[in-house]
Amino acid sequence: MPVIQINRHEMLARAWSLGNQADACRAQGHYREAESLFRQAIALAEEVCEPDDLRVAALLNNLAVLYKYTGQFDEAERLYRRALAITERALGADHTEVATIYHNRGGLEHARGDYARGEPFARRSVEIREKALGPDHVDVAADIAALAAILDGQGKYDESEPLYHRALAIFEREYGPENYEVAINLNNLAALKHAQGKRAEAESLYLRALALKEKLLGSEHPDVAMTLNNLAVLYKAQGKYAEAEAMYDRALAIFEQSLGQEHPKVGACRKNRAALASSQQG
């Protein structure tokens, strides 16, 4: 076998290994390290693969997911567009890998707060995956939950709430009650209950989500901080100012450590904490 061919295989293997390491770092909340690893992986893959290679698209998609978490939304969108174009050309418009990128595009718009823009992406992912896998598949449940969050953000509670419950039922049946997807949906359902004015239900759901996230991710993960921040907002609305203050302080410390000072979530948490202090002074 020619030496150049051996080198190509080695480079691809190295790229994939770096991508897997990056995924692990992202899951642990180590975002800066994950970005460096993803960039190295993409550079290697692009050097030895054709431009339309699905392995390149997968790495582009995964880096875009990271950029959503770190607040680099425009860069994430650019990468998603590249990944979608490659995947559609290679597999067709109705493939489940295409649905994954539509799902992620919807999630990006949710993170931006542009829920109406994200809704068509979320609906398209449900449409593709439900047709391919059936209504009760766990991947369909993930799409349904993402659509529910986008509808929730637009105040379409009557449509989003049954979708959350449908997704939760599938996740709990397939994975059991102590699963990350269960925790995420408990958190989102809690936010919906809060918006509906059902504060006691919201608190119970947030506390379940928080306990699960801490067990699954560790106490210093940015996903834990998200639920801490949300719980603090609820406690403030209930007049439980001491509890709210403790939650905000803990959330802010985690966000600053994992995301850096300039991340939008850090700014939002600081703003919420300052508003709490002002209300207490008033």
> What domain range is 58 assigned to?
8-92
Separation of alpha carbons 6 and 146, rounded Å = 42
Residue of higher predicted confidence among 279 and 44: 44
Does position 4 have pLDDT exceeding 80, yes or no?
no
Q: Do 67 and 54 reside in the same domain of the chain? A: yes
Q: pLDDT digits over 6-19, tens only?
A: 588 888 899 999 99
Number of domains the chain is built from: 2
83 backbone dihedrals φ, ψ, rounded to 5°: -65, -40
Separation of alpha carbons 67 and 103, rounded Å = 15
**How much is the pLDDT for 3?**
42
CATH of the domain at 54: 1.25.40.10
Encoded tokens for 270: 């600081």
Mean pLDDT, residues 224-229: 94
Looking at 152, 176, 200, the residue that finishes a domain is: 176
Query: Could you say which DSSP state residue 198 is in?
Result: -
Mean residue pLDDT across the chain: 92
The answer to whether position 272 is within a domain reads no
Q: Is 72 helix (H, G, I), strand (E, B) or coil?
A: coil
Separation of alpha carbons 235 and 19, rounded Å = 40
Does position 1 have pLDDT exceeding 80, yes or no?
no
pLDDT band at 5 (very low <50, low <70, confident <90, very high): low
Q: Do 103 and 65 reside in the same domain of the chain? A: no
pLDDT band at 261 (very low <50, low <70, confident <90, very high): confident
